[in-house]
Amino acid sequence: MGLNLLEKLVKTHLVSGEMRIGAEISISIDQTLTEDPLGTMAYLQFEAMGVPKVKTRLSVSYVDHCMLQEGFENPDDHRYLQTVAAKHGILFSKPGNGICHQVHLERFSSPGETLIGADSHTPTCGAVGMLAMGAGGLDVAVAMAGGAFYLSYPTVVRINLHGQLKPWSTAKDVILEILGRLTTKGNVGKVIEFGGEGIETLSVPERSTLTNMGAELGVTTSIFPSDEITRQFFTAQGREEQWREFLPDADARYDETIDIDLQTIEPNVALPHSPDNVCKVREAGFLKVDQVLIGSCTNSSYRDLMIAARMLKGKKVHPDVSFGVAAGSRQVLRMIAENGALNDIIDSGARILETSCGFCAGYGQAPQSGGVSIRTNNRNFEGRSGTKDAKVYLVSPEVAVASALTGQLTDPSDLNIDHPIVPVPERFYIDDSMVIWPPADGVEVYRGPNISDPPHPTPLPENLLAGVAIKLGDKITTDHIIPAGPVSRYRSNIPKSSDFIFHKVDPLFAERCKDYKKKGMASVIVAGLSYGQGSSREHAALCPSYLGVRAVIARSIERIHMANLVNFGILPLIFNDPQDYEKMQPGDELCVENTSQALNNPTMQIKNLSRGYMFEVSFSLTPRQVAIIRGGGLLSLYGSDSPIAM
């Protein structure tokens, strides 16, 4: 029996475990990446491990999120990131060089290698045949220190793309179509492998839009083969010698197969407030638009911005629309500046935004109160734009431009112009001078006053007494737990960051946890389905752990967040009976007796002391994870001679 791409990638990197669905495996990691708000803590954790130089083949630290620098905190963090990178053999991509996933795809991606990144859209590099996965910062720190990365062996879903997209239909519309069908729930533990003759019609940047937004499905990652299209991309990036063919065997086996005829795809839109709330633009009805933004790691490639420029040439955006454009990398910005396309964008009345995550991460460009914002990024969670009652719609660059021109959500085929054709250039503009290579030695790490040491939680107590500090509904994202935007400046300061946990949902949450702590009790978070979806933000586990949270009891918990909870010593527990979720109330006091014994079984009995009943929860933890929970978190075990630390 032949092998699929996942099997080939795992086989060549397997450190431990059996390649059996659901079994825990560990793999060696060739490359890591970090972005700034999650990177600071990852490097502080790496420093705490006492390893002098990274042991990965390549590690890159990007600054692309917190670029506004309103105060000393962000610039201090940027300097810390640069110096800690220099000291430990890590490449540093300066602010202004571009968004981590866009730059990594352009300059560092490598078919057949493994990559983990402290950012949930790390699967973007799956577009060239990498096993690229989002992970917690601590997992990235462990990988940089030479440790393996642990995951449950996934099922592999083959998505066969057939035929060719019609004019005005795009890769973004394909992934929105897939999101509409598969939704953001129920895809945990799956890997998507794209195939079929239709993939030959998609360039690498288009493929990367699909792998990027696969993150919204909740899958472990998405992978394309590395083929002739990939070779052309590498050649144009001046990296032909780094290309290699990487294909599945003809008789490879898949756990599930989905067929999509590209010819049937129409321009789509994800309606507020979820990327899977998808309908055709044509069926969305009349929608007046206040703001249009093009950019983010999903749609900011040379292809995307050239299409936008060609559509805008000689036209003006609607007077009521605020229109912003951000290139994904300096390479893209430089190329559209040189060929004059940037002038067409400027002349149309666009605001030229910095080459960074910017609006996607909630840094600037908040819409007006109750405003309608049409965006090309990947998430439209409530409040992520910076305006709580704004409505964000996710679309392709083509739909974004059409809407900016007309002032209403518009199917671009209604513009009565030809869909511009933008071939992949024969040569991209190449200048890596904003990537700083580490010097041999002699670097002192700079630590500004914003930076605090990573906390070390204590071991799990034998008798766990805890209060329900909050009860939440379904689909709580890491943005709900700890918002992006301006408060991200405190990500390297855990005591300060912790004050913002659930700040927009329940501003008294942190105080309540502190009160429980004063009474010698732990805190518990109770939630519904899909708790922790969205960004891989480990602060959504780290800060609750700092506040004394010892368990999340939910109806289901998303993969990356579950791993982060374990890494920070928080029990991820699932209600066996949904009625028990209904019965539980904020302020209830809970008790688990004899936790070491309780962790030996896959189910656990919890007593609700306030209401006088027992209920059962289950957990799916490997022996390694149980040991981490008992010890109070992965970092506490590091350097303790525990074999599970690596």
Contact footprint for ligand F3S (CB under 6 A): 65, 99-101, 119, 121, 296-297, 357, 360-361, 377-378
Residue 135 or 156: which CB sits closer to ligand F3S? 135
HEC string of 523-570 equals EEEEECCCECECCCCCHHHHHHHHCCEEEEEECCECHHHHHHHHHCCC
Residue 121 or 550: which CB sits closer to ligand F3S? 121
Closest approach of Cβ 139 to ligand F3S, in Å?
A: 17
Cβ atoms of residues 69 and 96 within 8 Å: no
Residue 275 or 631: which CB sits closer to ligand F3S? 275
What angle in degrees, to the nearest 10, is found between the helix axes of 302-312 and 330-338?
40
Closest approach of Cβ 336 to ligand F3S, in Å?
A: 18
Residue 118 or 311: which CB sits closer to ligand F3S? 118
| Pairing assessment for the beta strands 14-16 and 24-27 based on DSSP bridges | antiparallel
Closest approach of Cβ 403 to ligand F3S, in Å?
A: 20
Closest approach of Cβ 431 to ligand F3S, in Å?
A: 22
Query: Helix (H, G, I), strand (E, B), or coil: what is residue 11?
Result: helix
H or E element, residue 119: none
Residue 138 or 327: which CB sits closer to ligand F3S? 327
Residues with Cβ within 8 Å of residue 10, at least 6 apart in sequence: 19, 25, 27, 131, 153
508-515: Cβ within 8 A, 24+ apart: 509/469, 509/470, 510/547, 512/467, 512/469, 512/470, 513/469, 513/544, 513/547, 513/548, 513/549, 514/547, 514/548
The C-alpha torsion from 547 through 549 and 554 to 558, rounded to 10°, is: 70
Residue 81 or 229: which CB sits closer to ligand F3S? 81
Question: Where are the extended beta strands (E) located within 63-220?
Answer: 91-93, 114-118, 131-134, 149-152, 155-162, 190-195
Residue 104 or 419: which CB sits closer to ligand F3S? 104
Closest approach of Cβ 100 to ligand F3S, in Å?
A: 6
Closest approach of Cβ 217 to ligand F3S, in Å?
A: 14
Closest approach of Cβ 62 to ligand F3S, in Å?
A: 9
Closest approach of Cβ 361 to ligand F3S, in Å?
A: 3
DSSP-derived secondary structure letter, 637: H
Cβ atoms of residues 129 and 223 within 8 Å: yes
- What's the CA angle centered on 596, arms 591 and 600, to 5 degrees? 110
Residue 6 or 270: which CB sits closer to ligand F3S? 270
